[in-house]
Structure 1
Amino acid sequence: MPQRDGALPPEFWTRPAVASALSSCDVAAIIEAIRLAHGWSQSHLARTLGYSQSWVSRVVNGQQSLTIDQVREVSHRLGVPVHLLRFASAGPIPGASAPSRPSTTRVAGDGKGADPTRRRDFGKVLALATLPRPAGAGRGDIDETTAPTLRAITGGQRRLDASAPARELANAAVAHLELTGRTLARAHRTPFARDIAAAASEAAGFAAWLHVDMGDDGSARRHYRAAVERAGQAGHALLAAYMLGSLAAFEIDDDDPSLGLTLTAEAGRRLGHNAHPTARAWLACVRALGHAGRGDAAAAHREIASAEAAVNRSDNSEPPWPWVFAFDEAKVAGYRALTAVRLRQPNEARRAFSDAFGGVRPGAKQGAVLMVELASAHADAGDVDEAFRLAGEALRTGVLFRSERIIGRVRRFRRHYRGPRARCVSLLDEQLTEALLSGALPA
């Protein structure tokens, strides 16, 4: 739980993420961990350090170089135990710059005063290769490398998802999920348990995603619930909110927008009021889809406006884990397009799709999903030929990847079409029949 006043408890400094940051002198990670532990806003942190909020934001996001003297000063003001940084004296350190008081407007590489030292160089400058591990900290093969290794496996599988059928990845993903569960059980009562729980959450979330693509909704829900539970064990509020939001998006897409909105409310509660702008914007977009699913256009547009405001904030620079890519105006435009499709606003949907994907080509499977959404917008606008061309192209991708998620969306598009029986409509029906007879579609 956040502590707003007083010194941090001794066990805070042995948490895996904090110990790792100390061992590499990752000052940005140390500062952010202390801020979150105290429950401070970034402006409160800036006041505590005696620097501007913009300077603090640049440091936390890895955009601001620090001098050795700044590290000393920041550590002193935040109460970082000096023996953990191993440079108690204020005397010269080989390779370090001479003491100087920087202005709050200094930026990396401006050539004024002492030479800046970047985070990746602190290990060499301060001889902080590693921190000694507490006696009994590990259990068997579990150590500080375990969680990163597990996460790297999930990351590799996730990259393969862009070019491989989900069914070819699912068995390996589930086996990896079981491995992380067994590893977490062995890590009980070690300093590495929380990081391993976070890795297990990520693995469960990816397994859920694969089962969504396979059309196995029951398994998808089970894995999403496991992802939320593991994130709670990790004490990672942002990760828990991400998994809850992902489950909410799944339920909304499965035609239960009310349940999805309930889940987004719980995700928002876990995020709190000082969450990263990326998290706030993404969750607002998921809520917009939920409101659109219920036909509440006013609420949906309010959420999209809220997301746009969040992504334009100055501190929305680097996405926080578990987000991998920046959540920017183009991403919000994509959600605005999806919202407009659900609200049967075809002209707005087509404009928003153009804003979102005019210069960006998404991956094959994600692109096919978006094609079906865009096909719906064209059909609503009366452009039947283009609508069914897009749906047919999406269907070919769905069959290629054996993605029941894509194929199911094409089938739903066809069921909802009530327009004239043009040649393009008959052609899509023939494609669907061929896919069914070939075994690509479930009977």
Structure 2
Amino acid sequence: MSARLRQARKERGWSQERLVHEIERYARQKLLNIASTASLRVYVSEWENARRSIGPLYAAILRALLGLTDRELLGGDTLAAQPLVVDGYDDLISRIESAHSLSLGMVDTFMRQTELLRTVDRQMGAAALVDQMLAHLAALEEALTFAVLPSAREPIARGLAGAATLAAWQALDVGATERAWRHYELGKRAAAEAKEPMYLAHAMAEQAYVLSAAGKPELAVQLVQEAHRSVGSNASPRLNAWLHAAEAELLAQAGQADACRRSLDRAASALPDGTSDRDPDMPSIFLNRNHMTRWRGNVLARLGDDAAMSDLYDALAGMDSTFTRAAAGLHCDLVQAHLAREEQDQAIGHLRQARHLANRTGSARQPARIEQLSTRL
């Protein structure tokens, strides 16, 4: 418990005093009664030094602030799967009938819930969505467990594949890498059962980012390439472009500049024309020319290529204001690009913007990058 709380706090660049401030701010917003500032300072210190257990009220607050599950925050098997208790055949049949009804009438509702969670995540970050996301996955897994025929199982599995991949990306953003990996594995299994090669390829390619973050960029490149091979001609044009762009980013992280540029060119060629950014067959894909320009700028900035600057400013001009986390990343890319030109003043301005936006999302990855860039100023 103590080590994970301290680690999560430090991943955000927060002091203990900052954590106390965030607890108080959250409590004011939610109209919660909490201890005084002086007592909270003692609590945080005692929590981190394993001298005080975290009660239910403060566990709920810390989950929302830090994007952790109870198990990650408190340790042990708090959220371990409970054994299934079936009270005879009547209860079993009841569950099977409920799952059948869900597949016929409620899968669209679950898909809309996934879309709502995706929208909130895009604007406000993933940290506050842990409880909702886990409950959403649990409901879909329960339905799939008791669905019998393929006609009932496949629609549920498709919904679970999309939700699990979203949950994995959220977990990766808040620094819960093991949880991210497990969610991607769940998403891949669900996609395979749903007979959805595009969902499977998307989950594999996103999972490659976990490997890259863990210091295995070459293996990450191999995984995203295998994802692309696995979907083959079944990929929609937009997913095809997305996979090439993801490969380019991972190649940049692996230091393979020439191969990276070739993948960027293939991504641009594969992307459909028009302003639409959604793939009707892959709701998790957001990609149009402006998004691709931002992605290309990010990749070129990582390579130290001066051409990144024009792409990044073009992307900033056309940025959708609801993409808060993406905007924070874009300002980080501009910091990197200006530093490559030794333009300190401009870099400082974008770093300030990036920090402001990252604080709104509860991301762990972005503050780490911001801190890394700030050491170069």
TM-score by length of 1: 0.59
Q: 1:232 — aligned with what?
A: 192
Instruction: Identify if the C-alpha distance between structure 1 residues 404 and 274 changes in structure 2 by more than 3 Å, giving closer, same or farther.
Output: closer
Q: 2:97 — aligned with what?
A: 139
* CA deviation after TM superposition for structure 1 residue 212, in Å: 1.7
**Helix, strand or coil: the match of 1:331?**
helix
* Residue among 215, 224, 238 paired with 2:175: 215
Q: 2:55 — aligned with what?
A: none
Q: 2:138 — aligned with what?
A: 178
Structure number with bigger Rg: 1
* CA deviation after TM superposition for structure 1 residue 389, in Å: 1.8
Contact 2:319 2:327 in 1 (8 A): no
Instruction: Identify if the C-alpha distance between structure 1 residues 208 and 385 changes in structure 2 by more than 3 Å, giving closer, same or farther.
Output: same
Contact 1:248 1:286 in 2 (8 A): no
Q: 1:349 — aligned with what?
A: 308
Contact 1:276 1:320 in 2 (8 A): no
Contact 1:284 1:303 in 2 (8 A): yes
* CA deviation after TM superposition for structure 1 residue 143, in Å: 3.7
- Distance between the aligned counterparts of 1:150 and 1:144, measured in 2? 12
Instruction: Identify if the C-alpha distance between structure 1 residues 213 and 313 changes in structure 2 by more than 3 Å, giving closer, same or farther.
Output: closer
Q: 2:219 — aligned with what?
A: 259
- Distance between the aligned counterparts of 1:259 and 1:272, measured in 2? 20
- Distance between the aligned counterparts of 2:255 and 2:367, measured in 1? 25
1:404 aligns to 2:350 (yes or no): no
- Distance between the aligned counterparts of 2:273 and 2:120, measured in 1? 33
- Distance between the aligned counterparts of 1:223 and 1:263, measured in 2? 16
* CA deviation after TM superposition for structure 1 residue 252, in Å: 3.2
**Helix, strand or coil: the match of 1:281?**
helix
Instruction: Identify if the C-alpha distance between structure 1 residues 268 and 157 changes in structure 2 by more than 3 Å, giving closer, same or farther.
Output: same
1:306 aligns to 2:297 (yes or no): no
Superimposed CA distance per residue, residues 213-272 of structure 1 (whole angstroms, 9 cap, x where no aligned partner):
211111111111211111111110011111111112343355432122111122112211
Instruction: Identify if the C-alpha distance between structure 1 residues 311 and 407 changes in structure 2 by more than 3 Å, giving closer, same or farther.
Output: same
Counterpart of 2:314, as a letter, is D
Counterpart of 1:271, as a letter, is V
* Residue among 123, 126, 151 paired with 2:111: 151
**Helix, strand or coil: the match of 1:176?**
helix
- Distance between the aligned counterparts of 2:238 and 2:299, measured in 1? 19
**Deviation larger for 289-298 or 323-332:** 323-332
Instruction: Identify if the C-alpha distance between structure 1 residues 360 and 400 changes in structure 2 by more than 3 Å, giving closer, same or farther.
Output: closer
Q: 1:282 — aligned with what?
A: 242
Listed as ranges, the gaps of 5+ residues in structure 2 are 1-95
* Residue among 331, 342, 356 paired with 1:382: 342
Contact 2:103 2:155 in 1 (8 A): no
Q: 2:120 — aligned with what?
A: 160
**Helix, strand or coil: the match of 2:233?**
coil
* CA deviation after TM superposition for structure 1 residue 414, in Å: 2.6
Q: Would you tell me which structure has more helix in proportion to its own residues?
A: 2
Instruction: Identify if the C-alpha distance between structure 1 residues 145 and 306 changes in structure 2 by more than 3 Å, giving closer, same or farther.
Output: same
Contact 2:144 2:157 in 1 (8 A): yes
Instruction: Identify if the C-alpha distance between structure 1 residues 211 and 317 changes in structure 2 by more than 3 Å, giving closer, same or farther.
Output: closer
Contact 2:124 2:324 in 1 (8 A): no
Counterpart of 1:373, as a letter, is D
Instruction: Identify if the C-alpha distance between structure 1 residues 308 and 161 changes in structure 2 by more than 3 Å, giving closer, same or farther.
Output: same
Contact 2:126 2:361 in 1 (8 A): yes
Counterpart mapping for 1:358-437 below 5 A: 358-362=317-321, 363-415=323-375, 417=376, 425=377
Instruction: Identify if the C-alpha distance between structure 1 residues 176 and 312 changes in structure 2 by more than 3 Å, giving closer, same or farther.
Output: closer
* Residue among 136, 147, 162 paired with 1:187: 147
Counterpart of 1:261, as a letter, is V
* CA deviation after TM superposition for structure 1 residue 165, in Å: 4.2
1:169 aligns to 2:123 (yes or no): no
**Helix, strand or coil: the match of 1:295?**
coil
**Helix, strand or coil: the match of 1:144?**
helix
Q: 1:196 — aligned with what?
A: 156
Instruction: Identify if the C-alpha distance between structure 1 residues 406 and 313 changes in structure 2 by more than 3 Å, giving closer, same or farther.
Output: closer
**Deviation larger for 334-343 or 268-277:** 268-277
**Helix, strand or coil: the match of 1:208?**
helix
* CA deviation after TM superposition for structure 1 residue 294, in Å: 2.1
The answer to which structure, 1 or 2, has the higher relative contact order (CA under 8 A, 6+ apart) is 2
- Distance between the aligned counterparts of 1:275 and 1:167, measured in 2? 32
* CA deviation after TM superposition for structure 1 residue 387, in Å: 1.0
Counterpart of 1:351, as a letter, is S
Contact 2:208 2:221 in 1 (8 A): yes
Counterpart of 1:395, as a letter, is R
Q: Share of identical aligned residues, percent?
A: 24
Instruction: Identify if the C-alpha distance between structure 1 residues 327 and 400 changes in structure 2 by more than 3 Å, giving closer, same or farther.
Output: closer
**Helix, strand or coil: the match of 1:170?**
helix
Q: 2:204 — aligned with what?
A: 244
Q: 2:33 — aligned with what?
A: none
Aligned residues: CA RMSD: 2.4
Contact 1:281 1:310 in 2 (8 A): yes
* CA deviation after TM superposition for structure 1 residue 325, in Å: 6.0
